């Protein structure tokens, strides 16, 4: 195939040709919208480093759910800001905890909206780590039971799916066993299987008030330099019973998304995280890039790399644009 016999521009000459051979699609049902739930009444606080993203009190959720459904976003993931924090993160698994109340409210007011919960302790511990601390270290095995209890309390409150994001070893099987023993065998686990120790989580830690008070997360989250280790992490989670494998962050790790898609036959999710969102918003605000176009190109690239599902703060904005086509 050499010029002039083959001319790639032939198939690009108008939108009908281009649409016909387009390899990747982007649709609202592939997007999950993160929601931050906070204590109090009638609260709607914008996160300073994430323009357009709000922390909402439970009573504001019905309105938010309605807006999601109207734009075609059928799925949200919940993060909670508890009233109180303690060393063991006990607020994470309280029956009337912030996330548990949020699930009930959403399931009451918008039963068709799929509610996934982030299962982690860092928003609930006073030290900000994702597990409990023993001898100044994040202790893996004592944390497992707390995570399983948290996942169970979410399922009991009515969650449709749980998503452990703590990166403790063995959490998927612990959560799976606990859910099964309590008759929640139909609740899927979307595992944050490959989660890197990333600086792109900065704005999220402001939003969810969960920055570690000492040290960092590098003894449990993955080293950004590693790619083969991602396969080992994902293999473990598959063996332990994960239903969806997630890679996080997304854009700096498109190679990892692609690798997981090739190696595994489970659905692949990617988390387009807070810092990735904030960078686009900031550059767009300055007029340096076209925010809408960069948003779409970015989400499309995550899909092209192999993600079936994208968790993104852009979900509603993107869906509105797609719906208007």
Interface residues toward ligand PBG, by CB under 6 A:
118, 120, 122, 130, 165, 201, 204-205, 217, 273-274
Which residue, 126 or 262, has its beta carbon nearer to ligand PBG? 126
CB 145 within 8 A of CB 112: no
Phi, psi torsion values for 108, nearest 5 degrees: -70, -50
How far is the C-alpha of 48 from the C-alpha of 262, rounded, in Å? 38
Residue nearest ligand PBG, Cβ-based = 204
Which residue, 72 or 202, has its beta carbon nearer to ligand PBG? 202
Which residue, 101 or 129, has its beta carbon nearer to ligand PBG? 129
For 112, the token pair is 């068709």
Q: Least CB distance from residue 144 to ligand PBG, whole Å?
A: 15
How far is the C-alpha of 275 from the C-alpha of 98, rounded, in Å? 25
Q: Least CB distance from residue 165 to ligand PBG, whole Å?
A: 4
Q: Least CB distance from residue 115 to ligand PBG, whole Å?
A: 16
Of the residues 63, 85, 104, 195, only one is catalytic, namely 195
How far is the C-alpha of 234 from the C-alpha of 264, rounded, in Å? 8
- Give the residue from 298, 296, 245, 302 showing the smallest Cα distance to 268: 245
Which residue, 77 or 268, has its beta carbon nearer to ligand PBG? 77
Catalytic status, residue 74: no
Q: Least CB distance from residue 63 to ligand PBG, whole Å?
A: 23
Catalytic status, residue 320: no
By residue count, the chain amounts to: 325
CB 116 within 8 A of CB 78: yes
Phi, psi torsion values for 159, nearest 5 degrees: -60, 145
Which residue, 92 or 268, has its beta carbon nearer to ligand PBG? 92
- Give the residue from 144, 36, 156, 35 showing the smallest Cα distance to 88: 144
Q: Least CB distance from residue 120 to ligand PBG, whole Å?
A: 4
Which residue, 120 or 151, has its beta carbon nearer to ligand PBG? 120
Angle among Cα 173, 177, 178 to the nearest 5 degrees reads: 120
Of the residues 104, 248, 259, 316, only one is catalytic, namely 248
How far is the C-alpha of 187 from the C-alpha of 179, rounded, in Å? 8
Q: Least CB distance from residue 285 to ligand PBG, whole Å?
A: 19
DSSP, res 173 = H
CB 176 within 8 A of CB 240: yes
What amino acid positions are annotated as catalytic residues?
195, 248
């Amino acid at each position: 195939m050499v010029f002039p016999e083959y001319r790639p521009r032939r198939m690009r000459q108008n939108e009908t040709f281009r649409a016909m051979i387009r390899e990747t699609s982007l649709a609202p049902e592939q997007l999950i919208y993160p929601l931050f739930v906070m204590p109090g009444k009638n609260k709607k606080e914008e996160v300073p480093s994430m323009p357009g993203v709000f922390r909402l009190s439970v009573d504001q959720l019905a309105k938010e759910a309605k807006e999601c459904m109207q734009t075609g976003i059928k799925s949200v993931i919940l993060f909670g800001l508890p009233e109180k924090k303690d060393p063991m993160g006990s607020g994470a698994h309280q029956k009337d905890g912030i996330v548990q109340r949020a699930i009930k409210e959403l399931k009451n007011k918008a039963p068709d909206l799929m509610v996934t919960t982030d299962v982690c302790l860092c928003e609930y511990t006073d030290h900000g780590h994702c597990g409990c601390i023993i001898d100044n270290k994040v202790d893996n095995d004592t944390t497992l039971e707390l995570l399983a209890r948290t996942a169970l309390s979410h399922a009991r409150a009515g969650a449709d799916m749980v998503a452990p994001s703590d990166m403790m070893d063995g959490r998927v099987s612990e959560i799976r066993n606990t859910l099964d023993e309590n008759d929640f065998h139909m609740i899927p686990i979307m595992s944050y299987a490959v989660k890197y120790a990333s600086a792109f989580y900065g704005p999220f830690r402001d939003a969810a008030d969960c920055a570690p008070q000492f040290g960092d997360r590098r003894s449990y989250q993955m080293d950004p330099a590693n790619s083969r280790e991602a396969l080992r992490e994902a293999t473990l989670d598959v063996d332990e019973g994960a239903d969806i494998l997630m890679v996080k962050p997304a854009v700096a790790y498109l190679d990892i998304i692609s690798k997981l898609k090739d190696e595994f036959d489970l659905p692949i999710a990617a988390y387009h995280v807070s810092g990735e969102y904030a960078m686009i918003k900031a550059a767009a605000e300055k007029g340096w890039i076209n925010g809408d176009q960069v948003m779409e190109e970015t989400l499309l690239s995550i899909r092209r790399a192999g993600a079936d599902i994208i968790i993104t703060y852009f979900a509603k904005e993107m869906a509105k644009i797609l719906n208007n086509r």
